[in-house]
Amino acid sequence: MFPDDLRYTSKHEWVRQGAGSTVRVGITDYAAEALGDVVYVSLPQIGEEVAVDDACAEVESTKSVSDVYSPATGVVTAVNELLNSSPETINSDPYGDGWIFELELSEAGEVEDLLDSDAYEELVSG
């Protein structure tokens, strides 16, 4: 149900390992569905230093506003500018074009501690 090549947080973020120690972060389709139609995304600042569980972005939907938490410690190196004009991309393609930011990890091993797809599926179905 959830892509096997990603890691997940209990707060419904996903992490895709990129080149070197860079990861791409977004929210899961489970989270996007729970939020409803996304109408605005507040992106983090490039260069911002974040720690695990820091709220670093915000997703606003027709139902509510939800924080996006950093899944690891590092520095924001890129943000998805597409979301400024098309925030609904999070609903239509949460694991592709709907990514939110990229992070240069301070501790590469932190991502390994996150949930795999089976553990995340168990979390949301339990």
User: What confidence tier does 67 reach under pLDDT thresholds 50, 70, 90?
Assistant: very high
Average of per-residue pLDDT across 86-110:
95
Residue 51 has pLDDT above 90, yes or no: yes
Minimal CA–CA distance to 67: which of 46, 86, 92, 50? 50
| CA 53 to chain centroid | 11
CA distance 24 to 78: 9
pLDDT of residue 44: 98
Beta bridge partners of 54: none
Listed in sequence order, the residues at least 6 apart from 20 whose beta carbon sits closer than 8 Å to its beta carbon are none
Question: What is the overall mean pLDDT for the chain?
Answer: 96
Residues 62-82 have a mean pLDDT of 96
Q: Provide the percentage of residues in the chain whose pLDDT is more than 70.
A: 100
Q: Is the pLDDT of residue 59 over 90?
A: yes
| Per-residue confidence (pLDDT) for residue 81, from 0 to 100 | 98
- Which pair of structure tokens corresponds to residue 80? 């998805």
Does residue 42 carry a pLDDT above 90? yes
Read off the tokens for 75.
């520095």
Domain ranges of the chain: 7-120
What is the CATH class of 7-120? Answer: mainly beta
CB 72 within 8 A of CB 92: no
